[in-house]
Amino acid sequence: MVSSMGERYFCADCEHDFIPTEGGDDPRCPKCARTEAVEPADVSPLQSDIWRQWLFVFALLFVAGIAYVLFE
Ligand SMILES: [Zn+2]
């Protein structure tokens, strides 16, 4: 099952966000006509979201560590 709706790709070469008009395994950037730098754009928001959550956890641990050192 392949849905063409919302299948976005991101070209890392020219930072162009696009939806490929013709389906295929190798989408081409309409701006610079490259295929090597094109990545699925759906993955990155989720990954950055997880990364942000981990950053929040590390920040909490860091603050807790400083508080432990200061108030020991
Ligand atoms: Zn491009």
DSSP per-residue letters across the chain: ----TT--EEETTTTEEE--SS--SS---TTT--STTEEESSHHHHHHHHHHHHHHHHHHHHHHHHHHHH--
Domain count along the chain: 2
Domain with 68, as residue range(s), is 43-72
Q: How far is the CA of 60 from the centre of ligand 1 (A)?
A: 39
Domain co-membership, 30 together with 51: no
Q: How far is the CA of 50 from the centre of ligand 1 (A)?
A: 27
pTM: 0.47
Question: Model confidence over 18-49: pLDDT tens digits?
Answer: 988 876 678 999 999 999 999 888 655 666 78
Q: How far is the CA of 32 from the centre of ligand 1 (A)?
A: 4
**Residues lying with their CB under 5 A of ligand 1, a single-atom ion:** 11, 13-14, 16, 29, 31-32
Domain co-membership, 31 together with 57: no
pLDDT at residue number 25 = 72
Residue 53 pLDDT grade (very low, low, confident, very high; cuts 50, 70, 90): very high
